[in-house]
A and B are shown apart, each in its own frame.
Chain A
Amino acid sequence: MLIKQKSDISGSEITPERVYMNRRRLLKSAGFFGAGALLGHSANAEEIPGNYARLNNVSKSIFSTNESPNSFSDITSYNNFYEFGTDKSDPAQNSASFKPKPWSVTIDGEAEITGEFSLEDILKPHTLEERIYRMRCVEAWSMIIPWVGISLGDLLKRFKPTSKAKYVSFETVLRPNEMPGQRRRILDWPYREGLRIDEAMHPLTILAVGLYGVDLPNQNGAPLRLVVPWKYGFKGIKSIVRISFTEQEPYTTWNAAAPYEYGFYANVNPQVDHPRWSQARERQIGGGIFEPKIPTKMFNGYEDQVANLYSDMDLRRFF
């Protein structure tokens, strides 16, 4: 396993390198127009609005990337969260009335301990960790996000899954009153996702409760969402209300909507194209209009950590 150096600067204090480089480029051509989309956006702790509660006792993680994160505003204004609408700006615009508190999660299926638990009880025994992860969307764009969350594996073990627990499935809350996107049957609501148990138990897999050191904004899946950094972003189900241990491979929403385009595994793989576009390269968000695409890495750059999970599988077939 690849162990990376700890960084003692929190993600929120760094200006993204690519933004910095862009500034230099712009300064070189000073005198040419204003700023605008020619430039990327800067990321500072100051720009985080005060209405988000700061999370305390967040520890660093060796799993964080050294790359500098996208700005808070990029991460919270460019979202795929169809429950709030299909445009990237819809989740930020339409999620203000969503109530992530109080929250409870039902845990059921093949485990010794099941039931409905308040979010506080779910989180209590765990240490919050900052995990700065690459996020690669199936639409061929990417961001770097400083999540705050807990290890999913540590959480799942507390409920003592039985030997029949081969998969874990997740379900998003169904609240058409607060989630206008759910009033149109674009997808088969509620959104559902799933992982194989070994994927769910992998140390990289987390349940996030925050980003940039504050509570998760509604548009990012408040109050609890899945983050699996080596998979396409749609696997990261948001606003989770149910976690079930199952024996069979669970139903997953995008796979059911378009089985030829979105597989159950959805591992980031530059060699397996989406039927309608190439997955070989990706656009990094926040770079401005002259930022070239970068090559996409196998398993989104987490190959050393996760390739062994799929060693005997044909990844073209199980895409």
Chain B
Amino acid sequence: MYSLTSKQIRFVIKPIFFLGCALPFFWLLLAIFNLLGQRLGPEPITEIQDHLGIWGLRFLLVTLSLTPLSKLTGQFWWLKLRRMSGLFSLFYISCHFLNYISLDQGFAWKYIWEDILERPFISIGMIALLLMIPLGITSTKSWMRRLGKKWYSLHRLVYLIAMLSCWHLWWQVKLDTLEPLVYVVILTTLFGVRWYYRSR
């Protein structure tokens, strides 16, 4: 079967994928500064917050879909995008958290602490972010080598993180659970594909 060369992956696929991943962030910058006709609505802070969180979750799902994609298509270069996609997810989620403590809460630690401890949906989101950090740190080749088999066990946490993230979104919507439901269905499908290939 035709396969991409490592040069094509490095100089074509990866840069395109990088730009794609960065697009939601560029859009956000345009909207914040009302450039190119893009704008945020009357409550910009909540919009920034939701935008960053949703894209963090989406890239988490993209990361999880790359292995099933490579199995389904028989093309292994998809796997080379997992690290970038995962790091972008971590980037969006970190911005989501930073926006929450800065613009949203105005560094009012008393309220932030109360939120994290007392509001289950925020506690869950916080746990998901904390779990993502070691995965981000150990995402390099040298860490892979250093951890050996343990690296794979550690990075299986991504499944838990994805479930917690969907749960976090589900719990924070007021009533209309259609969008979180879509993500849960996608996540379940991805699990299903993996299970299918594993059990074959």
Q: Show the binding face of A for B, using Cβ within 8 Å.
A: 33-38, 41, 70, 73-74, 77-78, 82, 86, 88-89, 139, 141, 186-187, 257-258, 275-278, 280-281, 283, 285-286, 288-290, 292-293
- Is A36 touching B39 in the complex (CB atoms < 8 A)? yes
Name the residue on A nearest B47 (C-beta).
A37
Most buried by A among B33, B45, B111: B45
- Docked Cα-Cα span, A276 to B45, in Å, equals 18
- Docked Cα-Cα span, A275 to B176, in Å, equals 17
- Is B42 touching A277 in the complex (CB atoms < 8 A)? no
Contacts of B48 in A (CB 8 A): 289
Report the minimal beta-carbon distance from B177 to chain A, rounded to whole angstroms: 9
- Is A89 touching B34 in the complex (CB atoms < 8 A)? no
- With contacts A187-B175, A276-B172 known, is A289 near B42, CB below 8 A? no
Contacts of B172 in A (CB 8 A): 276
Report the minimal beta-carbon distance from B54 to chain A, rounded to whole angstroms: 13
- Is A88 touching B175 in the complex (CB atoms < 8 A)? no
- With contacts A139-B174, A276-B171 known, is A293 near B106, CB below 8 A? yes
Contacts of B148 in A (CB 8 A): none
- With contacts A34-B33, A290-B103 known, is A186 near B41, CB below 8 A? no
Name the residue on B nearest A273 (C-beta).
B118
Most buried by B among A35, A82, A187, A277: A277
Contacts of A89 in B (CB 8 A): 41
- Is A74 touching B111 in the complex (CB atoms < 8 A)? no
- Is A34 touching B41 in the complex (CB atoms < 8 A)? no
- Docked Cα-Cα span, A68 to B190, in Å, equals 52
Contacts of A278 in B (CB 8 A): 111, 114-115
Most buried by A among B42, B108, B119: B42
8 contacts between A and B (CB under 8 A): A37-B33, A38-B33, A141-B46, A186-B175, A276-B171, A281-B108, A285-B42, A289-B48
- With contacts A276-B119, A289-B103 known, is A37 near B40, CB below 8 A? yes
- Is A88 touching B111 in the complex (CB atoms < 8 A)? no
Given contacts A78-B43, A141-B43, A258-B175, 13 further A-B contacts (CB under 8 A): A35-B33, A36-B31, A36-B32, A41-B42, A74-B42, A77-B41, A276-B119, A283-B45, A289-B48, A292-B106, A293-B105, A293-B106, A293-B108
